Amino acid sequence: MAQPRADAPSKIILAGSDLHRVVDRIAHQILEKTSGATGTVLLGIPTRGVPLAHRLAARIHAFEGVEVPVGSLDITLYRDDLRLKATRALGKTELPPGGVDGLRVILVDDVLFSGRSVRAALDALQELGRPSSVQLAVLVDRGHRQLPIRADYVGKNIPTALSESVKVALTEVDGADEVKLIGGLT
Amino acid sequence: MIKHLRSAADLDAATATLILDTAAEMAALSGREVKKLPALRGRTVVNLFYEDSTRTRISFEAAAKRLSADVINFSAKGSSVSKGESLKDTALTLQAMGADAVVIRHSASGAPHRLANWVDGSVVNAGDGTHEHPTQALLDAYTMRSRLGRLDGLKVAIVGDVLHSRVARSNVLLLTTLGAQVTLVGPPTLIPLDVAAALSEKTQVSYDLDAVLPDSDVVMMLRVQTERMQDSYFPSAREYSRRYGLDMLRMRKLPEHAIVMHPGPMNRGMEIAPEVADSPRSTIVEQVANGVSVRMAVLYLLLGGK
């Protein structure tokens, strides 16, 4: 995928409290769709899916007082483009103490694009146990799917051109909360 | 990332730390029910062993298999080597078969360096003569870090047959890169000063084990390699054991937190007393388990990407 140049024009789509509201809404939707988030585990996909999963769990706890276990699921070793790029460093895989067997797993990622990361995550998850069902929550869906995959919870749909890229920044990782659309705006 | 791992000197501090961090993730993955990972599917790893080995060969084989690579084991016994085939011709055969990585153990120092000129794949040194054994050094460093929490500033005593030890050489190079202070201890005949100086300027030398022990965080006992000794380097095994063997009495001189390591195979009763080898301070079995994780990390980082 061609990356926009570093000096390409960029537009801020979501920032600060807007992003917080979006996370709040996803948390509410999860509560609604899972009847109170019982028997549910949130698994973040590194890097930015992990802090997002923790935020969702914190919001769910704030709204209804339910403790949802949070973990992380590294997909590096399951990617289908491992060999096309330089070797990648591994992220952390940490399951909550209760594991995933028989539970509803909600995968959390920042951007849904080709769907290949989610495919890799499904493969990685299968090696860790047998969840009763798997759902997907993303902060941004930018379209251009290459696999038959859709998200159950979407923070914001951003129509994009392939020449553009979407950059999510989170305070925990990048020092600020922001979703930016880079390139393509001539 | 580097292409070959021929010497611990190939690794700078950042690369070595990346390998240790990756190994930690691999170790976490090895704890689960399904240990297999798809990262090296379709890649071929050849274990080319010209010298006997139990631990290292099995460890590399397990590491490659857990990453889903195809593994071909080659040992000099029962192959065309016994008909007189040269290393180069064997290398060209492997090249023709499309090996993505060759893990080589050889009695000749420098064999992996030669091999790297003849094959397109990555070459991993699994021990060459009295020269180097970099993955052993990596797993030793990993063991120290996981037991003691750090490597920077750690005081490590490497005791015994330094002259013939590829483990010692690789450890000195790697540990000093990572900020540890290494002291070589042994009889003067087994630690020539020029060798110690050539290894690293930061390395110290002592001939008195009892003086070094109270100030060591790690004591690494080396095997006395009688098979590589043409001359007599010490009067008798008994005398060696009395002066440089680690027994219970000596072990008590170590600080409370210190650990005892040995790369194996051990001569129990010679360089290490059986009670010491089996004590809770000994990391010998742990080192073997860590070996698989570290070798998985090395194979993944060498072969996983483009």
Condensed to tens digits (0 to 9), the pLDDT of residues B98-128 reads 899 999 999 999 999 999 999 999 999 999 9
Q: What is the pLDDT of residues B213-230, one digit of tens each?
A: 999 999 999 998 877 776
In this prediction, residue B41 has a pLDDT band, given cuts at 50, 70 and 90, of very high
pLDDT, position B83: 77
- In a 3-state reduction of DSSP, which class is residue B45? strand
CA atoms of A45 and A92, how far apart (whole Å): 9
Q: What is the pLDDT of residues B121-136, one digit of tens each?
A: 999 999 999 999 999 9
Residues of A in contact with B306 (CB under 8 A): 83-86
Residue A13 has pLDDT above 60, yes or no: yes
Best of B15, B20, B25, B66 to substitute, by most chain A Cβ atoms within 10 angstroms, is B25
pLDDT, position B230: 67
pLDDT, position A85: 87
Contact B123, B116 (CB under 8 A): yes
pLDDT, position A86: 86
Cβ–Cβ gap B34/A127 under 8 Å: yes
Q: Of the candidates A128, A156, A152, A126, which has an alpha carbon nearest to the alpha carbon of residue A141?
A: A156
Domain residue spans in chain A? Answer: 17-160
CA atoms of A41 and B250, how far apart (whole Å): 52
pLDDT, position B50: 92
Residue B274 has pLDDT above 60, yes or no: yes
- B105 annotated as ligand-binding: yes
Percent pLDDT > 90 in chain A is 84
Domain residue spans in chain B? Answer: 8-132+288-303, 134-283
Give the residue with greater pLDDT, B155 vs B36.
B155
Best CATH choice for the domain B134-283 from the list 3.40.50.1980, 3.40.30.10, 3.40.50.1370, 1.20.1250.20: 3.40.50.1370
In this prediction, residue B236 has a pLDDT band, given cuts at 50, 70 and 90, of confident
| Arithmetic mean of pLDDT, B146-153 | 95
> A81 is written with which tokens?
């483009």
pLDDT, position A185: 55
Residue B77 has pLDDT above 90, yes or no: no
Phi-psi region of A6 (alpha: psi -120 to 50; beta: other; left: phi over 0): alpha
Chain B residue at shortest CA distance from A91: B25
Cβ–Cβ gap A128/B21 under 8 Å: no
For residue B17, whether the previous peptide bond is cis, meaning omega lies within 30 degrees of 0, is no
Let me know if the fold of B8-132+288-303 is the same as that of B134-283: yes
pLDDT, position B199: 67
CATH class for the domain made up of A17-160: alpha beta
pLDDT, position A143: 94
Best of B29, B34, B40, B43 to substitute, by most chain A Cβ atoms within 10 angstroms, is B29
CATH superfamily of this structure's domain B8-132+288-303: Aspartate/ornithine carbamoyltransferase (3.40.50.1370)
Active-site choice (B22, B44, B56, B143): B56
